[in-house]
Chain A
Amino acid sequence: MNQPCNSMEPRVMDDDMLKLAVGDQGPQEEAGQLAKQEGILFKDVLSLQLDFRNILRIDNLWQFENLRKLQLDNNIIEKIEGLENLAHLVWLGSSDSHASASQVAGITDLSFNNIETIEGLDTLVNLEDLSLFNNRISKIDSLDALVKLQVLSLGNNRIDNMMNIIYLRRFKCLRTLSLSRNPISEAEDYKMFICAYLPDLMYLDYRRIDDHTKKLAEAKHQYSIDELKHQENLMQAQLEDEQAQREELEKHKTAFVEHLNGSFLFDSMYAEDSEGNNLSYLPGVGELLETYKDKFVIICVNIFEYGLKQQEKRKTELDTFSECVREAIQENQEQGKRKIAKFEEKHLSSLSAIREELELPNIEKMILECSADISELFDALMTLEMQLVEQLEETINMFERNIVDMVGLFIENVQSLMAQCRDLENHHHEKLLEISISTLEKIVEGDLDEDLPNDLRALFVDKDTIVNAVGASHDIHLLKIDNREDELVTRINSWCTRLIDRIHKDEIMRNRKRVKEINQYIDHMQSELDNLECGDILD
């Protein structure tokens, strides 16, 4: 190629280049002098323009945390990358990334140095305007994160499949779209198709879509769109269902009684228990198992309901507590604000009095008075804070006691219910053992009528075997119950300690912050006074 631009070496986005750009595009005149004097931090830059610079690779942009607008057009970028830290970006233009070469050459030579896929945009959730004009993109993709997208420019690319349009349906805010000079824009149905599938679109290829066209398009593609909509609705409904289920489960989990509102625990007891399953084929065991399950499930449901109730109770307790604490803090803050306001009023007047006073001894006296005032304010504010701390400490302790009691009660009750489960299990075990032994005797005597499954029959070789088998099944069941109980107890205990810890920590943080704030304020006041002193003395 013989274009001057192209003959230029590809350049790297290094610090110098960025500094230069920032300096050029930063404040001008007086402000510019100031800016130069102290330098501009990259993270303060809101807008950056890097066009016609033959940039090959996007780089070194991680410092521009607060960048709102980034222009990278007319370069030779091949890949979208290095934009991960620019989460505040609203406007991104990397259009014509290769225009310098292609336009001057007058030929559509897009065989190199072009962006081929859309990628690396997953963190730019605030992006509203994306321009990828004149690239080599063939598929609209990887834009899922850009929920606020309003303007999308993809003209002069290689998009050739209409199905890309359907992908764009997920952008509810999309109003302007440019797809001209793409393979699909050659299709005769191009405009109608887009209008039909993107009904909220206002501008297509720089032209406004009038209502008439919209209606026509809708009529034309009604059937397929309806189908699509139906599918989307189904999908949506399914998602919502899942969401609801998840929420329900979450709710149960916070009450620590998930999966207890049914036979889940019971089923899990038998899930890994092959002996138990085998034994259930013994005559009479089926009915036994049935009643056992019923009773067991009733107890589980009891635990479940009790757990939900307790959870509700804990929640109200916590709510009242935080409400009260908030009110107390609010009240305290109001008092503090009033004190400060009163002080400031007085302080300002005395400051101006000092300024006007001429006699040095008088000034000194007044300054002394002022600093006395300041320390008085400090004392008052600190007293307020200490009062609050004490009050809150007491309240928190009370709350802690109550919540621990509640949790203890809950655990106790759950444990007693679980004990009932164990009793049932023991009872069942005894019965089963009885049946097994009698069956064994029958088998030994050889007058067993029914046919037993082979697995089961294998167990009935001697008494030890069968007793062991029944015992193993029993052990598994007990283990499951114990596990469930342990899980519940540990989780609720850890929840409780975490909660209390958090409350304490929050209170400590609050206290420290307040003390720091007061100190800071007092320091400022004192230093202001000192400055005044110095100034006066200098005068």
Chain B
Amino acid sequence: MEVLREKVEEEEEAEREEAAEWAEWARMEKMMRPVEVRKEEITLKQETLRDLEKKLSEIQITVSAELPAFTKDTIDISKLPISYKTNTPKEEHLLQVADNFSRQYSHLCPDRVPLFLHPLNECEVPKFVSTTLRPTLMPYPELYNWDSCAQFVSDFLTMVPLPDPLKPTIKKEEKVLPKKYTIKPPRDLCSRFEQEQEVKKQQEIRAQEKKRLREEEERLMEAEKAKPDALHGLRVHSWVLVLSGKREVPENFFIDPFTGHSYSTQDEHFLGIESLWNHKNYWINMQDCWNCCKDLIFDLGDPVRWEYMLLGTDKSQLSLTEEDDSGINDEDDVENLGKEDEDKSFDMPHSWVEQIEISPEAFETRCPNGKKVIQYKRAKLEKWAPYLNSNGLVSRLTTYEDLQCTNILEIKEWYQNREDMLELKHINKTTDLKTDYFKPGHPQALRVHSYKSMQPEMDRVIEFYETARVDGLMKREETPRTMTEYYQGRPDFLSYRHASFGPRVKKLTLSSAESNPRPIVKITERFFRNPAKPAEEDVAERVFLVAEERIQLRYHCREDHITASKREFLRRTEVDSKGNKIIMTPDMCISFEVEPMEHTKKLLYQYEAMMHLKREEKLSRHQVWESELEVLEILKLREEEEAAHTLTISIYDTKRNEKSKEYREAMERMMHEEHLRQVETQLDYLAPFLAQLPPGEKLTCWQAVRLKDECLSDFKQRLINKANLIQARFEKETQELQKKQQWYQENQVTLTPEDEDLYLSYCSQAMFRIRILEQRLNRHKELAPLKYLALEEKLYKDPRLGELQKIFA
């Protein structure tokens, strides 16, 4: 917890520093304290100052000593740098100053809580709070602004309650309840009297409901926070204050580290501020917090409102640049301070904390172990790091009906990096309706798919990204008996197609594999206005009544008309009395025309129109059938995708992209090998001999020969030396063994079994060594001449000794 807290501070600071804002860690406590807690202090009234100080300092220590209790086990302190384990003289000095300050403070304000000045760190070393902050700039753009930065920190933090909620760094926050009951707006009625009556009635109902609500809420509240109430105003919490002025921050505000939300300084959840600190200084709030933080003035330069600990920051409005320039040189105010002289020339020591480093993986993982569960009232939010779950799940919000979180109302699951572009899955447990939301890029251009079951011919709504589809389909709604499709942006101006099906006819044929489509009873198609055609020729709606063999047409309405032309075709083919087929009779086409025209009355025209419509009907039926097939296909695809749930990996993601990883590793290996080879070639056997000669000159033949001889003789000497060395060791080892054996034989009788064991093990080891040495010697003897020859060969080929080649060539 402690470490985490510090990290938080650092990150916050990092951002803050970068932002050149002033962020303060504020510690909130209710000013009023119960008497019993402070009994000891209160009894110490007006004794000598020294006694008081002593007592107080003791109390301070006990307070801070408790802190590490819950952090010890989690941190390996041995790896921490030295600055964590010791205090520099300057820090010691600072602690003294802080102690002094604290003593004065408790003398002046005996009623208030002791200051939170120097808690023990993870190595149980007292550290002043300001020095735990180290401004750091992180390489992530998300951490540049406060909101995303705070979100990151809150993700990273896990709330662990303090053993004693009254001691420092305890969280005390209530969630703001979501508004559940929004009252319906009053209905608009004609009669004012009735309206008034209604309003009255509604008000009554509302009052009742409110009452009921309040009662319920009260009941809930009681159930929820019976305990917190007892300690209301006593709990402690640390949070961040951002001061206005820099980086276009218009006004002061608070950030709660656990939620990452910002609050106004007027927010009533913050009951008061005991003290503030940043990495430069420490301030105590001298203002009354009876009205929460609403009346506080955050002018840290005002010593009446904010008692500072270190001199040098008493500007009317604090700013980093100013402070950097002037530092502690303002001698004028010394008298007003009422502090000891040593204070005035004291500057806050540099932070002892290591610079925080967040690896890209850790940054991506965000929460510890990549998983975080936040329990809300009637809701649970789970978060995972990307790629942690194999199905791409990154967060899940479960809402419950009851407080005990047993009856699930609905589940929302967010996904990332899914190959099928699934973004959000919404399951409503009460209606059992599942809705999948997709990002652009699904192979079937899906946008939303809501369904109750994956069986075909059931209720479902599929929405598409219509621009990604050739046919411009926007939405397809299905019920067991109908299918409705909505289109947009088609060249034939089709906007809507509705097909209703009849019950499936049982087929007598045995082949069950053959698809048995439901018979289509009716197809309704609607069209947008085609501006290229006159309105009375532009069909707005056509209905194919397949079963009745009728086709109804409704045309678009002309701009200055209110009625539209209609036409109805009966496509029954009949046979006249003589047995001839009737091609077309006037009663096969009933039409209403807004402005009757001559050519449309012609049978030929009607016949051609009907023929055209017949073809269109066939096409439409085919389209409906294809749509049905497509639904089947989509369902199949979805099932496959759900089963496979493969994740996409960006080509820039070097760690996860297997291919690029392999490639990169291969490259690295090659580089390494190349490097080795280079090192080898760079090992220059001639260098020590060439160094004796004047540089830059070409070697004469004689010099070259001499050089070669010298080099070879030197190498020979080395080989001999090596052989001698091995020989010497071998001899030494054998001698020792012999000695030991002698000693054993002499003292064999008196030896204890332990000594004998020791001796035996020594013997076997020595024998092993001797054997190894022997082997090495033999191999050396074998290899030495070969090595010698190889060097000679190399020397002949060396370009620097080119003269040699001339001689021997």
- Residues of chain A having any CB pair with chain B under 8 Å: 27, 30-31, 33-35, 37-38, 40-41, 44, 329, 333, 336-337, 340, 381, 510, 513-514, 517-518, 520-521, 524, 528
Contacts and interface: CB of A to CB of B under 8 A. Distances in A.
Given A30-B607, A38-B604, 7 more contacts: A30-B584, A38-B603, A333-B562, A514-B562, A517-B561, A520-B563, A521-B563
Contacts of B603: 34, 37-38
A524 B566 CA distance: 11
Residue of A381, A518, A520 contacting most chain B CB atoms (<10 Å): A520
A183 B46 CA distance: 133
B594 A27 contact: no
Contacts of A513: 560
A267 B490 CA distance: 66
Nearest to A381: B562
Contacts of A381: 562
30 contacts: A27-B604, A30-B584, A30-B607, A31-B604, A31-B607, A31-B608, A31-B611, A33-B583, A34-B584, A35-B604, A37-B603, A38-B602, A38-B604, A40-B604, A41-B599, A44-B599, A329-B560, A340-B562, A381-B562, A510-B560, A513-B560, A517-B561, A518-B562, A518-B563, A520-B563, A520-B594, A521-B563, A521-B594, A524-B592, A528-B590
Contacts of B592: 521, 524
Contacts of B563: 340, 517-518, 520-521
Chain A facing B: main interface SS: helix
Contacts of B557: 337
A533 to B, nearest CB: 15
Interface string B469-488: 00000000000000000000
Contacts of B583: 30, 33-34
Contacts of B604: 27, 31, 34-35, 38, 40
Given A33-B583, A38-B603, A336 B608 contact: no
Interface string B568-600: 000000000000000110000010101000010
Nearest to B552: A348
Contacts of A44: 599, 602
A401 to B, nearest CB: 27
Nearest to A33: B583
Interface in B116-137: none
A457 to B, nearest CB: 74
Nearest to A338: B562
A329 B562 CA distance: 11
A183 B611 CA distance: 53
A381 B563 CA distance: 11
A296 to B, nearest CB: 51
Contacts of A333: 560-562
A381 to B, nearest CB: 7
Given A30-B583, A337-B557, A517 B562 contact: yes
Contacts of B594: 517, 520-521
Contacts of B584: 30, 34
A273 to B, nearest CB: 56
Nearest to B557: A337
A336 B607 contact: no
A409 to B, nearest CB: 35
Contacts of A30: 583-584, 607
Nearest to B591: A524
A336 B560 CA distance: 11
Interface string B758-797: 0000000000000000000000000000000000000000
Given A31-B608, A517-B594, A337 B562 contact: yes
A461 B560 CA distance: 77
Interface string B134-159: 00000000000000000000000000
Contacts of A524: 592
Residue of B560, B563, B584, B594 contacting most chain A CB atoms (<10 Å): B563
A520 B611 CA distance: 28
A518 B592 CA distance: 12
A70 B563 CA distance: 38
A275 to B, nearest CB: 62
A47 to B, nearest CB: 15
A40 B599 CA distance: 10
A41 B600 CA distance: 12
Nearest to A35: B604
A329 B608 CA distance: 37
A340 B566 CA distance: 13
Contact of B607 (A34, A41, A528): A34
Nearest to B601: A38
A148 to B, nearest CB: 17
